[in-house]
Amino acid sequence: MGAQQSMNPRLTSVLLNLGHSLDHLVLLIFAAAVASIANDLGVDRWEDLMPYGAPAFFFFGLCSLPAGRMGDHWGRRKMMLLYFAGIGLSSILVSQAQSPWQLCVLLAVMGGFASIYHPVGIPMLIQNSTTPGRAIGINGMMGNLGIAIAALMTGWIIRDYGWRAAFWIPGLISLALGWVFWRVSDANEIPPVKKMPTFSVESQANQFTLFFIMTLAATTGSFLFNFTTNGNNEVLLNKLGDQWRNPAVIGTLLAAIYCIAAFSQLIIGALIDRVPLKKLYSTVIFLQLVTIIAATQLEGWSFYIAQLCFMCAIFAAIPFTDAMIAKYIDDSMRSRFSGARFAISFGVSSIAVWLIGPIVKTWGFSTFLWLMAATSAATLIVISFLPKTMDHSL
């Protein structure tokens, strides 16, 4: 029956973008629900439960390497079908966890399936695009809208139905999206390694230099991304005070930040196709650093505004590494290249999720924010070493 399936490239692209939303949504439900989960599982403090979520992000990174290889050799469509099915089933299983360690193992399994998206879904999306910056910008916006949905949806679902429903509902949605993807995507897809190269790639030495610097920048950027998206909920609670201790209200406030910040990627995606990439990247990271430092000095609603500003800059930085891959790496090997980069950056940065609880518990939120600023500064230093070939647009 597979050979009889219809092919709808536009709807396939829509589903790939929705898959990015889903990827970030399921990974951040735990952070948004950690206080409720801790209470239900008999853990005294949310800080003590937070490290149990770190394996999900570790395997999210580690499994990107085999996922990328399979995407290039086995086929991206098949891997995306595995992604939707795996996310759906594993999310439903997470909702049935009865202890912190069961939760830890099941979250790790979910993280493994979630790892498929970035090295497979994004190369599949841009493989025939004439404006990769725009396509990456839209895709990045959709991914970060998933973060907004996680914050908003989780808070309201927890209030009315409990934390378990916050996992099984997205699980069912993923299975439904996977069925539609199976029906509309091209069943006769040719694995990328079997295609002829579409353009000349950079020299091996330049590719190695680019990969090394890009991976360092992606790692520090992922550290900051994990610090914020997994810690923003509790940081905002601390800055606004106990009168706002309502998961639905805090979730709504964070969802507003993430929705607004997500649109920064649309702007960056358009600029990447026109503006020198290295200069644009450096400017975004500089704004990121300045706004985080400002946030360390603020409280209450002033902090909320600063949080909105630094999240806009953090989200705006995300498309750059995918844009570099689109420009300098041939489609026949993009999934493997992306998989290696994500395996290192996401795997190492998973430590950030583990660190949030102990850092806040021992030194407080002020130290946590300064550590974020230091991470941003490290990114700025790393990208200053990008090759001079970055000094022109895509």
- Least confident interval from 120-129, 155-164, 195-204: 195-204
Range 356-366 average pLDDT: 85
Q: Residue 70: CA atoms inside 13 Å, Cβ hemisphere, count? A: 17
CB count in 10 Å sphere of residue 1 = 5
| Residue range 266-307, pLDDT digits in tens | 899 888 878 888 889 999 999 999 999 999 999 889 999 999
Q: Are 117 and 25 in contact (CB under 8 A)?
A: no
- Between CA 339 and CA 74 the distance in angstroms is 14
User: Strand ranges (DSSP E) for the chain?
Assistant: none
In the chain, what are the domain boundaries? 8-187+204-391
Cα separation values, 221 from 193, 233, 313, 351, Å: 30, 19, 11, 13
Pair 146, 102: CB distance under 8 Å: no
> What mean pLDDT value characterizes the chain?
86
Contact 22, 147 (CB under 8 A): no
Among 15-19, 183-187, 317-321, 332-336, the range with the most confident prediction by mean pLDDT is: 15-19
Task: With a cut of 70, say whether residue 393 has pLDDT above it.
Answer: no
Domain 8-187+204-391: assigned CATH number: 1.20.1250.20
Mean pLDDT in residue range 352-357: 83
What are residue 130's phi and psi, to 5 degrees? -90, -10
The structure tokens listed for 301 are: 């609603």
Residue range 31-45: average pLDDT? Answer: 89
Cβ pair 265, 20 in contact under 8 A:
no
Given this model, what pLDDT does residue 3 score? 41
Provide the residue type at 273 as one letter: D
CA atoms within 13 A on the CB side of 143: 25
- The helix (H) or strand (E) run that includes residue 205 is helix 204-240
Q: Give the model's pLDDT for residue 177.
A: 97
Model pLDDT for residues 195-238, shown as the tens digit of each residue: 655 554 455 556 677 778 888 888 898 889 888 888 888 888 88
Which stretch of DSSP H or E encloses residue 28?
helix 9-41
* Tens digits of residue pLDDT in 55-85: 998 899 889 989 999 988 899 999 999 999 9
- Say how far apart CA 27 and CA 112 lie, in whole Å: 11
Q: Is residue 105 within a helix (H) or strand (E), and if so which, with residue range?
A: helix 100-114
CB distance 373 to 292 below 8 Å: yes
